[in-house]
Structure 1
Amino acid sequence: MHHDISSTTVPSPWIACIHPQGWMYFFHPEFRVVTTEDIRHPHVLDIVMNKIPQYTSEDTDGELEFQLCGLSPQPLPFDHMVINHKHALASHKLQEVQNKNMTSLAAHQFSRARNHYWQYMSRYPVHMPMPENAVQEAVDALVWYFTDNLVSGANSTVPFSKGECEELLRLLQHSNIYSGSSPSKTVFLAWILKEVYSFRYAEHYGKFTEKQSREFRNQNAKPRRHEPARHSSALKDKLLNVFLVAFFFGIPWTYVAHVKSASTYKGRLANVRKTWDAYITRLVQEYTNFLLIVSRLSLIMTMRT
C-alpha cells in the first residue's frame, strides 16, 4: 500500500511511503533502496543518488534491499543495512544475508539478523508485503511462551507473560490478520517477532545442548557475591545492633532485608516489580506504625513530666 504525496514533490521513480505513525520514508523500486532522508530537496537527492552505487553494486543476488542510514559521502560500517526479504534477515554485513551463506550462519548470527529484520519491518512496513509465514511464526513463539509460563511459573523469563500471550493469541486468532496485508498488521507482527528474536539472541537460542543450557541458566541465575568492603569486629556489630534495635526498633535491618528480597531477580522482570511494589506498601505501613509508636511514647513522656 503506497501513499504518493504528489508526482511533483517526489522525484520519479521514488515512492513516498507513510508509516502508520504518520511519518514518511522513501523507496526506490529499481535500486531497492530505502531512506528517511528528505529526497524532495535536490541537494539531498544528489547525495543519496551518489551513495547508492557504493552498496547496490555489491548485490550479487540481485534480490537484496538496502537502507541508507546517513548522508556521509564516504561509506561507513553502520551507515547502511542490507535486507534479505526472502529469508527475513537483515544485517550491516552483506555476507550475513546473502543467499549463498544461509547454511553457514551460526545460531546467534541468525537470531541477530532476524531481530534486525523485524526491527527494520516495524519501521518500514509500507513498501513490502508481510512475509507469508510471519503469522505462524508469531503464533508458534507465543504458544511456547504461554507453555513456559505454565511450567516455570514465577521463574519464567520469556518476554511475554501468560496474560499477554493469551491476549496476543486471541487477537491473532479472531482478527482478520491472516487475510491480506497492511502496514499496521506488519508493524504489529514485527513488534512481536523482534521481541522473540531479541530474547533468543540473549538466550543463545540453538547454541547449547540441554545439559549445557541448564548449566548456563543456573550459572546466570545465581546472585553475584560481593565481598564486604571492610570487616567490623563482633563487638562493634553487637553494639550497633543493640543501638538500632533500642532507638530505631530494628527498622534499618528490616529495610535492608526487604531491599535484598525485593531486588533479587527471580525470573520475569514483572515479578520483581510486583515484589518491589509489595515491599513499598509494607514499608509505608511499617513507617506509619513507627510514627504511631513514637507519638504515643512522646505523649507518655509529656504526661509524666
Structure 2
Amino acid sequence: MKYTLKQLQVFNAIASNESVSRAAEHLCMTQSAVSMSLAQLENLLDRPLFIRHGNRLTLSHWGRWLRPQARKLIQNAQQIDQGLKDQHLISGTLSLCASQTAAEHILPKLISNIDSDFPELRIELSIENSEEVIRGLLNHEFELGIIEGRNDDSRVMQEAIFDDHLVIFTNTHHPYAHSKVVNLAQLEQARWILREHGAGTRRIFESAVHGLIDHLDVWKEYESVPVIKELVKNGSYVGCLPLLDVKREVERCELVILNTPELDMHRSLSFVWLDDLGQNPLKDCVITEAKRLVRSIQKNRINHFSD
C-alpha cells in the first residue's frame, strides 16, 4: 500500500467539510498541506476523488466508494491506538446517530451520566430518522445508532433497550376527542399529520393500519415532532407519535390520546451497530450506561404508580 492513514484522514475530513480550508482547520494543518495530501492520494489511486464547484468539493463516484472504506480503516486504527497507549480504556470519541425520540427523551440524561462517570469519553451526536441512521452505519459515518422499531438488514446488529408505544392524538376541540372509542372508519375519515417516510414512527404506524384502513388522508408530513404537535393542537387534524413525545402535552390537557383498540402500535428503541465493527469498549460502555438509565426510568415509573 502506497497511501497512508494520514492521507485517508485528510480525505475524510475534506469529505465531511466539503472544503479544503475547513478540513485544514479541523485537522490543525495548513491549507497547503491538506491540498498536497489530497493531490498525492488522488495521484496514487489514479482516481479523482472530488468534483470541484468553486471553493466547494463534493465526492466523485470513486470518492463515494472510498469514503466508507477509509472511515473503517481510520476507526480500526483509532482502536489500535487506544489499545496500545497507556490510558484509561474508556476514552476517546464515539460517533452516535439517534432518532428524534431517543435524542429528546433518552440521550440528554445518558450523555450527562457519561460526562460524570466517564469524563474522557466524548460522544459526537447526530439526529436523523431511523432509515438515515441505518444508512449512516452502513456507510461508516457513525459507529453506533439508536432507531425506533425493527431493522431488517442482516449486516446490522440490534439490541432493544426501551419499550414504548405509539398513540393516536388530537386536540381537545376535535370531534373525536370526546369519543370513548374511535373506530377504523373514523380514522379513515380523519385528516392526518404524520412523520415523514423513513421515520421509524411512520413505519410502525403504517404496519399497524395495513389491511385495516384502505385510504388515509395524509394532509402533511414533517420531520419535526414539535411542528406536528403544534399543528394538531391548533387545527382539525389527527396525529400519531410515540407516547413519550406527547405525554407532557396530554398532562397539560393540550392534546388528547384517542382510544383506538383495533390498532397495536407497540415498538422498541434499539441500539444498532455494524456486525463487523469488532470490539469497541466505547460502544459497550454507552449501551451498558443506557440500560442502567432505562432501568432507573422504569423503576421510577413503578414507584410513581404505586404511590
Class of the TM-score when normalised by the shorter of the 2 chains: under 0.3
* Richer in strand (by share): 2
Greater per-residue helix proportion: 1
Choose 1 or 2 for highest CA Rg. 1
Bigger relative contact order (CA 8 A; separation at least 6): 2
